[in-house]
Amino acid sequence: MSRPRIPLAKDLPEELEVPLRTGRDWWYWTAGRPALDLVNTLRERWRRRVECLCGPDDVAEWLRRAGLLAMPVPVAPELVEAARELREAIDAGVRAAVAGAPTPPEAVAVIDRWVAMSAPPALTLVDGVPVLGSRDADDPVRAALAGVALDAARMLGTGERDRIRVCDAPDCSARFYDGSPAGRRRWCSMAACGNRAKVRSHRARRTAPPRTGGQADGVSRP
């Protein structure tokens, strides 16, 4: 069975009125895990840094689409800033992992605060079989964000950190998790950034001036 196709990220138009009223047209889900999908809600980190988690309704809808909330529920306005703070803490961990640098302690403190809000595990009987799940949370929105924090904690705190990537394309800042067997993925998506990079290098080869006979370093190349 083929996996459902995940739509690619749509590029933001050059003409864009910011701040956006809602960012939901610009969310994408290609990172491979919720912690990195959340980081990708700040678009174009390499230039305009466009906020796409724009208000309480965006937070609720993002969590629903991420599969962390069964339905959109009212979100307290202060949770918008809190969700963005969690996102930037995760990204600080991401950038440190990619650079092979120590994770900033402030980032760990923020993620840790959220991890503690996870819904406690619960064991229930379903048709005579015990099923491990989680208890109903008092605050489903906080518990859902805690689920993202837990994903970040697992990713940053294990060997999985070696599989965190930032897309190689200069005009893309997508973060993604490299789950490929060889672990050599360079682009957030082969169909978008990978393809554009191939076209660019092909064009560069075609327009490069032809090499003349005597090469400066005297080495003949194939």
Which residue, 98 or 137, has its beta carbon nearer to Zn ion?
98
Which residue, 112 or 171, has its beta carbon nearer to Zn ion?
171
Spatial separation of the C-alpha atoms in residues 103 and 95, rounded to whole Å: 9
Which residue, 20 or 172, has its beta carbon nearer to Zn ion?
172
Q: What are the residues binding Zn ion (CB under 5 A)?
A: 167, 169, 172, 174, 188, 193
Coil, strand or helix at 179: coil
User: In terms of C-beta density within 10 A (0-12 exposed, 13-18 middle, 19 or more buried), how is residue 99 classed?
Assistant: exposed
Helix (H) or strand (E) holding 146: helix 140-156
80 contacts 56 by C-beta, under 8 angstroms: yes
From the CA atom positions of the chain, what is the Rg in Å?
21
C-beta of 9: minimal distance to Zn ion in Å? 8
**φ and ψ of 158, to 5 deg:** -135, -175
Q: End-to-end CA distance of the chain: give it in Å, rounded.
A: 44
C-beta of 167: minimal distance to Zn ion in Å? 3
Which residue, 94 or 188, has its beta carbon nearer to Zn ion?
188
Nearest to 188 by CA among 38, 37, 16, 26: 37
Which residue, 62 or 176, has its beta carbon nearer to Zn ion?
176
C-beta of 188: minimal distance to Zn ion in Å? 3
Which residue, 195 or 215, has its beta carbon nearer to Zn ion?
195
User: In terms of C-beta density within 10 A (0-12 exposed, 13-18 middle, 19 or more buried), how is residue 19 classed?
Assistant: exposed
C-beta of 144: minimal distance to Zn ion in Å? 27
C-beta of 193: minimal distance to Zn ion in Å? 3
C-beta of 84: minimal distance to Zn ion in Å? 22
